[in-house]
Amino acid sequence: MSNITIIYGTDATEMTYTLLRETAVSNRLKAGMNVVIKPNLVVAKPASEGATTHPEVVEGIILFLKDCGIKNPIIAEGSWLGETTDRSFDRCGFTALAKKYGLKLCDTKKDKVIKKTAHGLTLGVCETIANADFLINVPVLKGHCQTTLTCCLKNMKGCIPDSEKRRYHNIGLHKPIAVLNTILKPDLHVIDGICGDPTFEEGGKPVIANRILTGTDPVLLDSYGAALLGYEPASIDYLVESEKALLA
C-alpha cells in the first residue's frame, strides 16, 4: 500500500472505519495480534484546538480492529516534556475512550526502555512500542516551530522516554528522528487531518479540512502533508534525512 488514500467528511469515526475497510490493511491483520495505536497527545488540549489526535479517529480504528479479530489493542503515548501523559489522556478524551472499550492506556514515559542502534546512533525506545506485532501511527498534520512540519515521522518521538527527547534536541532533531524511524517502523499511518494548526504544534489556530489520510510510507505521507500546508518537502530537514536513512 505504497500510496495515499484520503477520505473527506464530518463523522471522524465513520470516516476512519470506512477508510480502513476500503484499503487492504485487513489482509495484514490476524486475530490475537498485539496491536499498538500511537496517537499524538503532545499536550492536554482537545483535538478541536488543532494539536492532538481526535479520539473519534482512534475509535474508528478500534472498531475496525475488532471486526478483524483484534479485541484489545493498546493505546500508547508519551506527552512532551512539560506535560503529564495521564492528564493528556484524560483531557483529550482517551481515558473515556479506553474505558468505553476496556482497553489499556500505556504511558511511554513510564515504560521500560530498551536500546537499539542504527546508522551510528544508539537510541532508547519504549518496550511496548518495540514489541508490537502491528503498530498504527495516528499523527496530526500540523506545523511545528522547529521542524516546520510534524506528521508521521516526528510523531514517533512519543515512543521514547523523556531523557531521549532532551538528547534529541541537544544533538539536533532531524537525524535522530530519521534514525528512530528506521528502528520503529509503523505498519500503518492514519493521519488526522481534520483541523490541525498549520503554524504551531501546540495548536490554537486550527484550520478545518475534514480529511483523514492513510498509507504505509511515512516519507511519502509527510511529503504530501508538507505540500498541503504549502511547504516544499525538500526544505524540511528531517524529511530529507529520513528518506536517506530509510533507503540506506
Q: How far apart are CA 68 and CA 93, in angstroms?
A: 24
**Look-up: residue for cell 512519543?**
158
Q: What are phi and psi of 232, to 5 degrees?
A: -85, 120
Q: Percentage of residues in the chain with pLDDT exceeding 90?
A: 92
1 has pLDDT over 70: no
Q: Bridge-partner residues for 212, per DSSP?
A: 7, 192
Amino acid at 148: T
Q: How far apart are CA 202 and CA 192, in angstroms?
A: 15
Average pLDDT score, the chain: 95
Is 35 within 8 Å of 74 (Cβ atoms)?
A: yes
Q: What are phi and psi of 201, to 5 degrees?
A: -70, -20
Q: How far apart are CA 214 and CA 137, in angstroms?
A: 10
CATH topology of domain 5-247: Rossmann fold (3.40.50)
pLDDT tens profile 107-128: 999 999 999 999 999 999 999 9
Q: Percentage of residues in the chain with pLDDT exceeding 70?
A: 99
Within 26-93, where are the H helices?
Answer: 55-67, 85-91
Q: What are phi and psi of 149, to 5 degrees?
A: -130, 145
pLDDT band (50, 70, 90) for residue 171: confident
Q: How far apart are CA 164 and CA 243, in angstroms?
A: 22
CA 179 to chain centre: 16
pLDDT tens profile 2-24: 699 999 999 999 999 999 999 98
Rounded to 5°, angle at Cα 29 from 105 and 66: 55
The string of DSSP codes covering 11-40 is -HHHHHHHHHHTSSGGGG--TT--EEEEE-
The full set of domain ranges for the chain reads 5-247
Q: How far is CA 55 from CA 3, 77, 138, 178, 245, in A?
A: 25, 13, 10, 27, 32
Mean pLDDT along residues 181-205: 97
